[in-house]
Amino acid sequence: MASFQQAMTMVFAIDEINRNPNLLPNIMLGYHLYDNCVKLAVAFRAATALISGTDETASNLNCTSSPPVIGIVGDPGSTHSIAISSVLGLFRVPMVSYFATCSCLTDRHQFPSFFRTIPSDAFQVRAIVQILKRRLDLGGPGVQQ
């Protein structure tokens, strides 16, 4: 149910942006929603269909000068994001994840087209260590940053 709510929130945001001519003048945002059923193979199929233009809804577009997809709001999980963004990076198709926190995804050489809206695990670990050090008054040699 949470995934459905997140998808509907994105649809609402895109519709609101498209309604306001001051936000993105002369630009219309679009979207295609896919449920990957938490299966990597399904996510791969959807992503490759979108970037290749073989998706049945994307192939009916009238514009031939633009790619069928210019970016993907991707899988929330790190494991799927790692796999999918590895392929998308080859085609320079950006992928944005709203919940993939693996520090490895920060590597621009390996994931040149990956972006996220949440900090990586590295920042969270440092923050937790700092909180513990302050709360437990741990400043000795056993706790390092």
Q: Residues 6 or more apart from 61 whose CB is under 8 A from it?
A: 68
Q: Where are the domains of the chain?
A: 32-119
Element (H, E) at 72: strand 72-73
CATH architecture of 32-119: 3-Layer(aba) Sandwich (3.40)
- Tens digit of each residue's pLDDT, the chain (145 residues): 788 898 999 999 999 999 999 999 999 999 988 888 889 999 989 888 888 877 655 444 454 445 567 899 988 899 999 999 999 999 999 999 999 999 999 999 999 999 999 999 999 899 898 998 888 876 556 555 5
> Quick one: 96 exposed, middle or buried, by C-beta within 10 A (0-12, 13-18, 19+)?
middle
How many C-beta neighbours within 10 Å does residue 101 have? 18
CB 91 within 8 A of CB 71: no
